[in-house]
Structure 1
């Protein structure tokens, strides 16, 4: 159990607010509003919708689970799919704890989901809580207080600052006249096509051709020097879920490569949000092509 003094910690409050904002922003299109992390996630409904939105996985489950047994059954199915995807060991949470509205387990689960599915999301750093551990045995009751880490210290400030600059540049770019925006896009297309020429691929529409994640995954692989196994993504995505999975994987690969793209969600790229696509491309450009970067910066 989290100690009462830790529940009042401003850092914990900020983390809860950030997670609430993330959930509600992710599920906005589905008109789902979460007001409390303590009370609104125990029955599996919100977690199921997050799984569908973030990973493109929708399970054949009833929307509303009316009984405790049905809720546990739904949670078990949803969290089984989540645990397959989350890199962090699941000993910090389980179905029973989430269903019992255990705040500590819920926070651990949500932080792990945010780190995996939207690694560019800014969460408050260095959030720790004091946890009371109680053990009951034949010898009596023994209690202990330990420190539980929810989010570690920030270690990528330099990289994040650089990439925030790329995001600011894109926001500034989109306020310019159409002729200058088109010129920068043309420069980015040249950078992309030079990188993709070894695969015999050509991109002509920067606004639309990145929305299914295929070109983006292949581009990241070419620039970062690794091969993305075809079994890990959909080479010919046939629906929104497969496109969302592709783009989520691409954003995850960027993070593993040390590139954090500020304020970009997978669903934004799938929805053909030009600013989101440009932020990703400018981030790649700034690392891999300094000459092209200077040329694009000149237009901005």
Structure 2
């Protein structure tokens, strides 16, 4: 189905959010929280926590914030810094969380808060919309997840001499499973970029068959590679294996750290089953 056909039905709701005073100029893009996400209980919890934090911090100034969109827009709370956000709740939340983390690192910000966003672009052919899911707060669910990320940061920045050893562990793990399909992986950086090996590995480990019509077995373009990787990320997320945000383009570009983190998600679950 033509995506532009669906835009006819989704566009009016988005434009109501923008408002007549905020018409989008040609060539401009603007990302907004979709109306359906405003009812997200976790989002409401986050907004209430941030409002409480602001009011507690500014109590001596006799400033009371009731609405993040309205009360921060006039510049009274954060002066002119937030004036450029034009009551953009998404940007306001990102900024407030960054400030809160900096000045009060122990603030109990709820994890895994995400919203559906819609990006509207005024092109020469008319208005174009694109939807996505964006995390507002960290998606790490526990300290173990945090330590895993820190371990890979440490590995790449301070222990590069151990990197090859870790690669070999992952390669042995991968080949043990995709070898049953007659495949052999020698280079993590290049052979996972098109998403094919990753999809086949997930299928082998999770015990299901991937319909060849759902992905490109021999991708001929970056778009097809990205499709494969996006599918793999979706499968990992749906299976509860992925506990961090992934930019699929990083894998297509051969980003070693991102690829190894994804492999670790699979390795950490299935290594015990091999012994």
Counterparts of 1:30-109 in structure 2 under 5 Å?
41-42=119-120, 44-45=121-122, 64-65=123-124, 70-72=125-127, 75=128
Confirm or deny: 8 A CA contact 2:225 2:252 kept in the other structure.
Answer: yes
- Distance in 1 separating the partners of 2:206 and 2:200: 10
- Distance in 1 separating the partners of 2:247 and 2:217: 20
Q: In structure 1, which of residues 231, 249, 264 is the aligned counterpart of residue 213 of structure 2? A: 231
- Distance in 2 separating the partners of 1:19 and 1:235: 39
Q: In structure 2, which of residues 126, 141, 147 is the aligned counterpart of residue 157 of structure 1? A: 141
TM-score, normalization by structure 2: 0.55
Cα distance, 1:174 vs structure 2: 1.0
Aligned residue pairs total: 177
- Distance in 2 separating the partners of 1:192 and 1:290: 14
SS in 2 for 1:175: helix
Specify every segment of 5 or more residues in structure 1 that has no aligned partner in the other structure, as ranges: 21-39, 46-63, 83-109, 115-120, 126-153, 294-300
- Distance in 1 separating the partners of 2:91 and 2:259: 29
Specify every segment of 5 or more residues in structure 2 that has no aligned partner in the other structure, as ranges: 1-15, 18-37, 39-65, 73-86, 96-117
User: Counterpart of 2:155?
Assistant: 173
TM-score, normalization by structure 1: 0.50
- Distance in 1 separating the partners of 2:197 and 2:71: 44
Query: More relative contact order in 1 or in 2 (CA 8 Å, sep 6+)?
Result: 1
**Compared CA separation, residues 5 and 17, structure 1 to 2 (3 A):** closer
1:195 aligns with 2:177: yes
Cα distance, 1:196 vs structure 2: 1.3
User: Counterpart of 2:258?
Assistant: 276
Confirm or deny: 8 A CA contact 2:69 2:89 kept in the other structure.
Answer: no
Superposition RMSD in Å:
3.5
Confirm or deny: 8 A CA contact 1:193 1:203 kept in the other structure.
Answer: yes
Cα distance, 1:257 vs structure 2: 0.4
- Distance in 2 separating the partners of 1:194 and 1:182: 18
Q: In structure 2, which of residues 262, 267, 270 is the aligned counterpart of residue 285 of structure 1? A: 267
Confirm or deny: 8 A CA contact 1:166 1:283 kept in the other structure.
Answer: no
- Distance in 1 separating the partners of 2:157 and 2:236: 27
- Distance in 1 separating the partners of 2:150 and 2:69: 35
